Structure 1
Amino acid sequence: MQPVFEVKKFNDIKHLLPAGSWWIKHRRHEDMSNEYAAFYEGNAVTENINLDFFNLDISLNDESLRESIGLIVITGNLRAKNIMNAETDGAVSLIVLGNLEADNIAVGGQEIYVCGDLLVHDLYWGDYNHGELQAEGHVAARVFMATDEYHFDWKRFLRKENVDIALLANDDDANGDISREVMESAFEEACLVDDVEADEIYSFKDWLDAAEINRRLGANEPVLRGEIAAREEETIPYVFEGDFLTDNNMERFRTSFLFSLFGSSESALKKIEFWREDTFTRVTVQQDKPLSTNLYFQHKEEYAIMVFCFEYENSLRRAITYKSLTGDDQEWHSLDLQHPQPHLRSLLETGYKNLLKEFSAMEFYQQKFREEVTLEKARTIMALPLVKQRYSDYYNDEAEVLYIGNLMIEFRQEDPATERAPRIGIIQSIPHAEEEDDRFAFFHFDIIKDEAGNERVTLRTQDADGYDSTVYNVSVTDTGKFKKALEFFALLEKKIFPLNEKYLAELNANRENE
C-alpha cells in the first residue's frame, strides 16, 4: 500500500529536522510561514518519486497546495524504487530521519538529507551546484557520480570512511580523465552518446543521454550494466629476489640505473632518501665499489638502524647496527639478531620490505617516464599549429589556456634570448583544497640538456602558484607524482591531436569564406 502523506506547515515540523540541514542553516532568517512540507510519520515504502514536483499520495483539502510543497519529510525509513528529477535548478528536497534505500537516485537542485544509512542498489547521480547530499550513516552504491559541482562530503568518499562505492565518478577529482571509457565501464550503451567533440567534454555527464536515463528510471528499466567493468590496474614488477636481506639484493640497489640519474661519476657517493609517514629511509651507494650499499632506517626522531658491509680479515661481512636518537647513549651498537628488541625488529623488517617495494616502483615509473614522455613526443606537441598559435603566450595572464577537465595546460616555446627551457605545463586544479597554496598541483615537462649536452624531458614542479615560485625537479622517490604525470601526459596526447585537426579545419574554412 502506498503511503499517504500529510501536508504540514514548515514551522510546525522544523523542530524535527537535523541541525545540519540546509533548510535549518541557510533559511533560518527567512519568513517560512507560507512554506509547506509533505510529511509522513513512520516507515514508508513507495514506488518512484519524482522530485520535480510532489507526485505521491497526499491528504489535501486544497489541491493547489500541492504546488507549494518544497520539502518531503519522513520520520522513519524510506524504501523507494527510483528517485529522480530533470530540473536541476530547483526541485523538491527530501529529508529522511531514518534510512533511505532505493534502486537508483538521479537528482539535483535540492537537498537530500539522510540521518541514517543510504543504500542505493545501482546509481546515485547528483548534478549541478544547486544540489547537495548529506548522509550521516553508511553510504553504499554501485556507482556514485557527482557532476557540475554537485555538493557532497567528497573527502569522506575519497577516504572511504563508512562508504562503499564500486565506482566514484566525480568531475572535480577526475584528474582530467572524464573519458567515455569511464562511463561505458558502468552504463548501458543506450544511456551513452557518441557524437560529442573532444573540446565539448567538460563533465562525465556530457557522455550521458540524460533524457534516456530519466525515461529508463521512470519505466523501472536498468541504466547500469550487470557488472561494472574493472579498470585495469598497473602491475609494478618486483626487481628483487624475494624480501630477504641478501648480498644479491644489496647489490641490486648499487647497480640500479636510478643512481646514474645523479651524475656520471661512478666513484661518487650517491643516495636516495625519503620519508613515509613515521619512517625515514636512505640508500647510499658507490657505483664502482661492490657491496658498498648502505641502508638506513629511522623511526621519527627516536631510533635508527643501519645495514652495511665491512671488510674483516680480507673478506666482506654484513653488519646491522642500531642507536638511540634520544638520551645519553647515542652510539651505534651491534644488533643481536637472535634476540632483537621488538621495536628494532619491526623497524628493520618493515622498513626493509617497504623499501624493496618502493624502490621497485621508483624504477618502474622512471623507466615508464623515459619510454612514454619522449623528446620526440614533446617536440611534436609543441610544434602543433594549435599549440604555437593559441596556447603559447606563457607569461601573459590574459592568454588563452587549454582546459581538459580540471587540468589547465600551458606551453612555453623555446626562446634563445632567455635560455628558458621549452615547457609543457599541466596544472591540476584542486577545487576543494583547504589551503590557498594547495589549490593547484604543477606538472612541468621541461626539455633540458644533461651533462653531455643531450636533450631530454624532465619532470619538474613548484609548490605555489605564480611565475616567481621556485621550480625544481621531482624526486625519483615521489612515485605518486610521476604516476599522475604519466596519466596527464597520456591524456594530453589523446586530446591534443584531434583538437589540432579541428583547429586546422576551422582555419581552412575561414580562408575559403574570405
Structure 2
Amino acid sequence: MDKNVQFMPISKLAGKYPEGSWWAKFYGDFGEDQLVAYYGEDLTLTSLNLDWEQPFPEQKEVLLIMVDGNFTVEHLYNKETDGAIGLIVNGNLNAKNITVGGQEILVSGNAMVEGVLCGSYNHGEMIVKGNLEAAVLVQDDEYKINVGGRKTIPCIINVWEGDGVCQELPITIQEVLIDEVLDIDEGEIEFSFCTLVNVIAEGRSPLKNVNDPLAVKKPDSVYFTHNTINEENILKLTQCILMEKNKPAFQFVEQGVFFKAQVKHVDADGEERDLSVYMKDSRHHYYIWVESDHSVGLLRRTVEEGSEWESITGESQEPLAELGACWTMLLTCVNMAELYLRNIEVKFVQDIFQHPDIEELAYEEEEEDGLWDGSKYYTFRKAYVDEDGDSRPARIEIKTLDEAYYFYTLDNDTYVARHYQPPDVCDLQDMSLLNLRRWEASEQYFTRFKEFMAEKIG
C-alpha cells in the first residue's frame, strides 16, 4: 500500500470535488464508513484495477480515488460495468491504455492515452475538462465521454457495427484490434470487452499497427501521362471530367493558385476566346494558348496593378520554373478528378432522390430526419431556392463516426460534386484535389452508403 494515501470519509473532501462532478453533488449521501483514497500529490502506478472485487488500495470501503495532482498509469481498467470505483484526477492523466465502465472518471486537466481508450455501457462517464488525446477510441455508443477542450483521436471504432474511421479513412474493427479480443463465428464478428480488459491487465497491447499507411486507390491508368505544355495536354484539360456539359470553361483554386481552362469559343460579349489556360499564383499571372499552327504561346505578368504582359515563349529555366510548378499542379489536380469524380454517377444520385422513401426524408435545411446505419448518419437535402433567391442544389450528406461530414451535390449534369466539413466546424469546405486521403475517404464512404441503400430500399 502506498504510504502517501489517506483514507477518509467521502464527506471530508467536500471542498475538493470538481464542480459538476457526481461527487460534488452527492457526497452528503454517504456515511462515515464509505471512504475515499486520497493522494495529495502526483501519483504513478503500473496498473490500477477499479473493480469492486479488487478494491484499491486494499480497502473494501473505498468508493472513490482522488489524486490531487497528476496521475500517470500504464493500464487503468475494470471488468464490471454495472458499477466500479470512481476516479478524480485534479491534474493531468497520462495512461498507456484505459478500459473502464460503471463509474465517473473526471480529469480536471488534460488526458493523454497512448493506446486504447475504451468506455463500456451506459453506467459510466469520462469527463475531461482540458484536452483529450488518444490513439484509438473503442466505443459502444452508450458510454459518455465529455471533453471541455480539444479532442484528438485519429482512430475511432464502433464495437456494435464493427466499423470505424482511422486517419479519416473508413476501417473495420479487425483491422485495428487483435483477433484475440474479437469473437469470430461464421463471418460474424463480436467485440469482447472482458477479453480486452484481460489483455490490458496482462500489460499487452490490443492494437495492430494502426500507424501503417492505409491503402488508397491505385489508378488503372493516368489521365495525363506527361506534363509537357503542348496542344495535346491543353485539349485534354478541356475534355476532362471538370468541364461541365454546355460550358466553355472550368475553374478552381488549389493551394492559393487560381486555374481556368477554356475551349475556343465566342463569349457572351461576342469576343473570340482561345483554346487556353490561365493561372495566377501569388506573384504572377500566366496565359497559355494554342496558335493556329498548333504551337503554344506563353505570356506572364506580375500581380502588381498596371503591370503588362510579357512573352516568355521560348524562354528557359528561371522564367519557366514557377510556370512549370503551377502547370504540374494543374495536371495533378485533373488526374485526381479523373480518378474519383467518374465513380459516382449523376443518375444514381438523381434516382435516390426520386425514390418515395427518400422523398419523405428530403428537406431543404435544418431538418434532421435521415437514415442511420449504426455508426453513420445519412441526410438528404432536396434542391430549393433560399431566401436570397439563390438556387441550392440537392445533396446527400454523410455524417461519419468522428463527426465529420462528406457532401455529394447535384449542381451539374456531368459529375457529383464533393465537399467536406471537419468535426466541430460549421461550414463545408471545397475538397482539395491534392488531398488523396480525403478523396479516398469520400469514395469509400459513398461505396458503403450504396451498399446500405441497396439493403434499405432495394
CA distance in structure 1 between the aligned counterparts of 2:82 and 2:450, rounded to whole angstroms: 34
The offset of 1:81, in angstroms, is 3.2
Match of 1:39 in 2: 38
Match of 1:428 in 2: 398
Match of 2:288 in 1: 308
Distance 1:304 1:109, change over 3 A: farther
Distance 1:183 1:440, change over 3 A: closer
DSSP 3-state at the match of 1:79: strand
CA distance in structure 2 between the aligned counterparts of 1:57 and 1:228, rounded to whole angstroms: 36
Q: Which moved more, 1:125-134 or 1:490-499?
A: 125-134
Within 5 A, what are the aligned runs for 1:182-201? 182-193=172-183
Distance 1:26 1:98, change over 3 A: closer
Gaps spanning 5+ residues in structure 2: where? 267-271, 383-392, 421-429
The offset of 1:308, in angstroms, is 1.0
Give CA deviations for 1:87-117 in whole Å, capped at 9, x if unaligned: 3788612417356233453457523528477
The offset of 1:331, in angstroms, is 3.3
Give CA deviations for 1:423-452 in whole Å, capped at 9, x if unaligned: 99643347998xxxxx97653679x9x7xx
DSSP 3-state at the match of 2:177: coil
Distance 1:7 1:76, change over 3 A: same
Match of 1:418 in 2: none
Distance 1:108 1:277, change over 3 A: farther
Amino acid in structure 1 at the alignment position of 2:286: M
CA distance in structure 1 between the aligned counterparts of 2:399 and 2:109, rounded to whole angstroms: 32
CA distance in structure 2 between the aligned counterparts of 1:498 and 1:355, rounded to whole angstroms: 40
Residue 239, structure 1, aligned to residue 223, structure 2: yes
The offset of 1:321, in angstroms, is 0.7
Residue 492, structure 1, aligned to residue 449, structure 2: yes
Residue 295, structure 1, aligned to residue 278, structure 2: yes
Amino acid in structure 1 at the alignment position of 2:107: Y
Match of 1:24 in 2: 19
Q: CA RMSD in A?
A: 5.6
Match of 1:402 in 2: 371
Match of 1:169 in 2: 157
DSSP 3-state at the match of 2:19: helix
Instruction: Give the conservation status (yes or no) of the 8 Å contact 2:76–2:99.
Output: yes
Amino acid in structure 2 at the alignment position of 1:256: C
TM (normalized to structure 1)? 0.60
CA distance in structure 1 between the aligned counterparts of 2:77 and 2:432, rounded to whole angstroms: 48
CA distance in structure 1 between the aligned counterparts of 2:120 and 2:324, rounded to whole angstroms: 48
The offset of 1:225, in angstroms, is 4.3
Within 5 A, what are the aligned runs for 1:201-280? 207-218=190-201, 223-225=206-208, 231-236=214-219, 238-243=222-227, 245=229, 248-256=232-240, 258-259=242-243, 261-263=244-246, 270-280=248-258
Amino acid in structure 1 at the alignment position of 2:237: F
Distance 1:442 1:242, change over 3 A: closer
Amino acid in structure 2 at the alignment position of 1:443: Y
Match of 2:5 in 1: 5
The offset of 1:138, in angstroms, is 9.1
CA distance in structure 2 between the aligned counterparts of 1:240 and 1:154, rounded to whole angstroms: 45
Gaps spanning 5+ residues in structure 1: where? 159-164, 199-205, 413-422, 434-438, 451-455, 464-473, 502-514
Return the match for 1:356 from 331, 335, 352.
331
Distance 1:295 1:54, change over 3 A: farther
Instruction: Give the conservation status (yes or no) of the 8 Å contact 2:238–2:249.
Output: no
Instruction: Give the conservation status (yes or no) of the 8 Å contact 1:45–1:78.
Output: yes
Amino acid in structure 2 at the alignment position of 1:393: E
Distance 1:293 1:337, change over 3 A: same
Match of 2:386 in 1: none
- Greater helix proportion: 1
Return the match for 1:150 from 145, 149, 174.
145
DSSP 3-state at the match of 2:173: helix
Amino acid in structure 2 at the alignment position of 1:39: Y
The offset of 1:3, in angstroms, is 6.7
The offset of 1:409, in angstroms, is 5.2
CA distance in structure 2 between the aligned counterparts of 1:357 and 1:32, rounded to whole angstroms: 63
The offset of 1:361, in angstroms, is 0.8
The offset of 1:33, in angstroms, is 6.7
Match of 1:162 in 2: none
CA distance in structure 1 between the aligned counterparts of 2:47 and 2:290, rounded to whole angstroms: 77
